[in-house]
């Protein structure tokens, strides 16, 4: 989603801003732009599409010396919300070529502000909500305010979730920044300061970071930064030393980040496990911190793939620990009146730690008096900073928009939580706990074996690449995986795909079956496989192309399937308990190879963003 970077006090600031924007590319965007003040004039360049278009334009202008000398610049990658993808709507948005603003989020009351500004004679060139910001700055600066006071007056007028940076030719050594719900970090340099949507976007410039808190605004100058809270009280925010620059994460010889992230799962998942399992046998999660002093029920909130991880978590926690779990879409939880009866604790799951829906659900959970926990990958993210207790997946940056290693690592933590709760509340014996820890240790090798199915999955990808629609089926622990498999396929290959609980087919979705529609089922012999095979048979009888990814026993039973992938042999209990993690691998590979066949932009699929910072 939209990314913001600003540099103050360094020569060639616009090029440094571009370096930062490159690091935000993975979030997903559809246009980009930068603005700087050079020789007293505001210069701006924008382009549609990828950053490379902006860089080419910038290079041409640099040759013309337009941008050669600037020490203040801001830039933006835009993920369209209000207004189509166009040069006019790309940021920075300006007012009379004197003020430039880059913004992430939505100004909810922009329509009324726009009408007021138009009545005052301001001319709007874009369809964006953002354009009210530069005009409001202009209005207040024209009334004699400095940048800080103008910014404060602007904040009084606007509503919504936002993070923005404003710059004016009249104050060429200052940036005004503010955040409300959307993330924003300030980087401290030597006679220079920086602003970015996250720490990573400015870690080529500094490792000293301040995260603004909600409602904060700040005046950033070359030698100092003054931060104020929502009551205009000057405040000090903690300076955090982030890890030395990790620079641009590379693809390590793979064609796409997604491919790399799928194949590195055997290596990174032990990093997840090792934070919570000691001596290969002892779980170190603090249940008191999790809010489980007593047996209570749990509410899990998340979005997208993280939500599906939550669904699997529910199955595990109920099965292993006998604790009731409710799973809710974060975007729903916030806007209904959920009952917290019997609950003491909320668990949110978010790879980025920035999904606004999930953040809002978390805040709401706090308001309701719940103890809040989060499974997150990005340390220092907004959710990490606001939650009571964070459990880190530690799988390194995930750059591909489609979540892969994050999903499996979230599952690892959920499984460990289930085991830990099982020990305390469901009489799980030490030996049983040790076995579960052992299973975690077995996972990397098992995933290596699952990855060896690659060539067979490629054949299936070839087979379904031209399908208009694909159906995924699963039962029990593999039902949420069917939903995840469908999500993965649709988001990167753009083929319409839906996942259903196998038993639900006959209650409606079976109407979708026609000749040659691929129906993909993940199946393991767990005692219920015959039921699922019957469901498959029903689809087969109506002409569907049946694709079965299953263990040997199921493959033999469902010999009618058109295409079959037999998964390697694993110990029974390990295979059935950890089936969602094991079967994630073929689901991810399938989506990846279909997308590759179709030539889509695998890592940055159309319309999608890695960090979804609007509601």
Q: Report the interface residues with ligand F6R, using CB under 6 A.
A: 303-306, 350-352, 355, 358, 402-403, 487, 491, 612
Q: How far apart are CA 44 and CA 33, in angstroms?
A: 7
Output the six-digit token pair for 318.
């109920």
The least CB distance from residue 48 to ligand F6R, in Å, is 24
The least CB distance from residue 201 to ligand F6R, in Å, is 16
**Phi, psi (rounded to 5 degrees) for 516:** 75, 5
564 is catalytic: no
Catalytic residue among 2, 301, 437, 554: 2
Q: How far apart are CA 311 and CA 317, in angstroms?
A: 10
Q: Contact 584/556 with Cβ under 8 angstroms?
A: no
Which is nearer to ligand F6R, 301 or 505 (by Cβ)?
301
Q: Which residue has the tokens 């709760």?
A: 421
Residue nearest to ligand F6R (CB): 304
Q: How far apart are CA 270 and CA 265, in angstroms?
A: 9
The least CB distance from residue 609 to ligand F6R, in Å, is 8
Output the six-digit token pair for 608.
């999608």
Catalytic residue among 10, 260, 423, 610: 610
Which is nearer to ligand F6R, 168 or 351 (by Cβ)?
351
Return the axis-axis angle of helices 405-425 and 304-316, rounded to nearest 10°: 30
Distances (CA, A) of 221 to 8, 224, 237, 458: 7, 5, 16, 55
User: Strand pairing of 41-48 and 31-38?
Assistant: antiparallel
Distances (CA, A) of 300 to 309, 320, 370, 601: 10, 17, 12, 32
The least CB distance from residue 537 to ligand F6R, in Å, is 31
Which is nearer to ligand F6R, 93 or 594 (by Cβ)?
594
610 is catalytic: yes
How far the first Cα of the chain sits from its last, in Å, is: 11
From its phi and psi, is residue 226 left (phi > 0), alpha (psi between -120 and 50) or beta?
Answer: beta
Which is nearer to ligand F6R, 79 or 292 (by Cβ)?
79
The least CB distance from residue 140 to ligand F6R, in Å, is 36
Which is nearer to ligand F6R, 206 or 305 (by Cβ)?
305
Which is nearer to ligand F6R, 344 or 352 (by Cβ)?
352
Output the six-digit token pair for 363.
């805040």
> Residue 496's beta-bridge partner residues?
469
The H or E element that residue 42 is part of is strand 41-48
Q: Contact 500/482 with Cβ under 8 angstroms?
A: yes
The least CB distance from residue 517 to ligand F6R, in Å, is 23
Catalytically active residues, by annotation: 2, 610
């Amino acid at each position: 989603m939209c990314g913001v970077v600003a540099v103050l006090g360094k020569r060639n600031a616009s090029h440094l801003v571009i370096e930062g924007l490159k690091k935000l590319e993975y979030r997903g965007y559809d246009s980009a732009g930068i603005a700087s003040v050079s020789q007293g004039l505001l210069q701006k360049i924008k382009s549609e599409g990828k950053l490379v278009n902006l860089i080419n334009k910038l290079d041409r202008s640099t040759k013309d010396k337009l941008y050669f000398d600037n020490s203040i610049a801001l830039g933006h990658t835009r993920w369209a919300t209000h207004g189509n993808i166009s040069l006019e709507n790309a940021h920075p948005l300006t007012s009379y070529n004197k003020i430039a603003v880059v913004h992430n989020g939505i100004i909810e009351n922009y329509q009324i502000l726009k009408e007021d500004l138009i009545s005052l004679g301001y001319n709007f060139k874009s369809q964006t909500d953002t354009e009210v910001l530069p005009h409001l700055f202009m209005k207040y600066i024209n009334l004699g305010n400095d940048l800080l006071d103008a910014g404060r007056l602007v904040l009084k007028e606007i509503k919504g979730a936002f993070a923005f940076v404003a710059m004016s030719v009249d104050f060429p050594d200052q940036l005004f920044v503010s955040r409300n719900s959307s993330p924003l970090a300030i980087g401290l340099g030597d006679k220079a300061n920086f602003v970015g949507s996250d720490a990573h976007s400015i870690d080529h410039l500094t490792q000293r970071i301040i995260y603004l808190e909600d409602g904060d605004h700040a005046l950033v100058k070359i030698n100092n930064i003054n931060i104020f809270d929502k009551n205009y009280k000057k405040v000090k925010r903690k300076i955090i030393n982030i890890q030395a620059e990790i620079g641009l994460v590379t693809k390590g010889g793979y064609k796409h980040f997604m491919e790399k992230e799928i194949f590195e799962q055997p290596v990174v998942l032990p990093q997840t496990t090792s934070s919570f399992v000691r001596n290969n046998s002892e779980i170190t999660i603090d249940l008191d911190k999790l809010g489980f002093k007593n047996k209570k029920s749990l509410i899990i909130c998340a979005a997208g793939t993280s939500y599906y991880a939550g669904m699997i978590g529910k199955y595990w926690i109920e099965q292993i620990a006998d604790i009731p779990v409710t799973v809710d879409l974060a975007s729903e939880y916030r806007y209904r009146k959920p009952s917290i009866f019997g609950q003491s604790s909320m668990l949110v799951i978010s790879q980025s730690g920035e999904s606004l829906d999930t953040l809002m659900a978390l805040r709401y959970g706090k308001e309701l008096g719940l103890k809040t926990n989060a499974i997150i990958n990005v340390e220092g993210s907004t959710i990490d900073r606001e939650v009571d207790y964070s459990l880190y997946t530690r799988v390194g940056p995930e750059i591909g928009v489609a979540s892969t290693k994050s999903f499996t690592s979230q599952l690892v933590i959920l499984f460990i939580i289930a085991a830990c709760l099982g020990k305390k509340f469901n009489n799980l014996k030490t030996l049983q706990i040790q076995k579960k820890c052992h299973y975690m240790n077995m996972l990397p090798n098992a995933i290596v074996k699952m990855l060896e199915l690659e060539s067979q999955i490629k054949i299936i990808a070839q087979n379904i690449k031209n399908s208009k629609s694909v159906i995924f089926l699963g039962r029990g622990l593999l039902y949420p995986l069917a939903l995840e498999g469908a999500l993965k396929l649709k988001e990167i290959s753009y083929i319409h795909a839906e996942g259903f609980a196998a038993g639900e087919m006959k209650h409606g979705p079976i109407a979708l079956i026609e000749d040659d529609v691929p129906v993909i089922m993940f199946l393991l012999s767990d005692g219920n496989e015959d039921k699922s095979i019957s469901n498959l048979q029903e689809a087969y009888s109506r002409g569907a192309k049946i694709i079965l990814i299953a263990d040997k026993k199921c493959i033999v039973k469902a010999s009618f399937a058109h295409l079959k992938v037999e998964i390697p042999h694993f110990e029974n209990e390990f295979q059935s308990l950890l089936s969602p993690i094991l079967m994630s691998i073929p689901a991810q590979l399938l989506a990846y190879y279909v997308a590759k066949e179709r030539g889509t932009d695998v890592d940055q699929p159309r319309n999608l963003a890695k960090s979804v910072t609007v509601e």
